[in-house]
Structure 1
Amino acid sequence: MSLDHRTVDQRWLAELRASLADEFATQTARLRELTELNADTGDPGEAHTRAALVVAARRGVEQVADALRRIDEGGYGVCERCERPIPVPRLEVVPYARFCVPCQEKSAG
């Protein structure tokens, strides 16, 4: 299943893909910057913060890459749990969403 291409503006999907590609490049550059930064100041708090930033950047890269893959494969916009379409307004807010809101709430609870 994929987004109903009769109801989704193809221009919107192309713009979304371009936006996600830009986000991927930004996140990848940030991750590279964080991992190449070896300035150990000896401050455990700073090291912890840097480690958390690396984890967040990796997660961002993975989420965006996965969304781009789903667009390319035609599965973008379909909930991975219930296989129903994810509403476009949700995708506009969370473009890498893998689940519809009800399924996301079930997995978080």
Structure 2
Amino acid sequence: MIIAPHHTETAPDQPLELLRTMLEEQFVLQTRRLTELTIYGRLPGHAGYDPNTLDILTTSARQAIADTAQALRRMTEGTYGRCEQCQRPIPLGRLREVPHARYCTRCHRHRGS
């Protein structure tokens, strides 16, 4: 008697696919956030936001979208997960914490950014 393994639809089990999913979700969330902030900026009274705060939040959302898009592009190119400075692999723990990371922790510290 042969027992076939039971396959179910689950979240991707490969680290790269999990990170891709995280990045895609982040992209969608930040895009929605930017849309909201843009609408708030056009409303009388800016939906209760101080114009300066609204500008800061908008800039932050745009940067998050750009960082996420660049990480997804690196995945497509096959360079994702490699430090742009030393070319060593970025540890999985760092990528889980900062999925759009371009540098390993050591190089990030030396860059001062």
TM-score under structure 2 normalisation? Answer: 0.79
5 Å-filtered alignment, 1:1-109, equals 11-37=14-40, 38-41=42-45, 46-108=50-112
Unaligned runs of 5+ in 2: 1-11
Larger Rg: 2
How far is 1:91 from its partner? 0.7
Cα contact 1:24–1:64 (8 A) shared by 2: yes
Higher RCO (CA-CA < 8 Å; seq separation 6+): 1
Report the Cα offset of residue 40 of structure 1: 4.1
Q: Give the fraction of aligned pairs with identical amino acids, expressed as a percent.
A: 40
**Is the partner of 2:102 in helix, strand or coil?**
coil
Unaligned runs of 5+ in 1: 1-8
Secondary structure of residue in 1 paired with 2:86: coil
Q: How many pairs does the alignment contain?
A: 99
Find runs of 4+ consecutive structure 1 residues off by over 4 angstroms: none
Secondary structure at 2:81's aligned position in 1? Answer: coil
The alignment's C-alpha RMSD in Å is: 2.0
Contact kept? 1:20, 1:68, Cα under 8 Å: yes
Name the TM-score, length of structure 1 as normaliser: 0.82
Distance 1:89 1:15 in 2: 13
* Pairwise CA distance, 1:41: 2.5
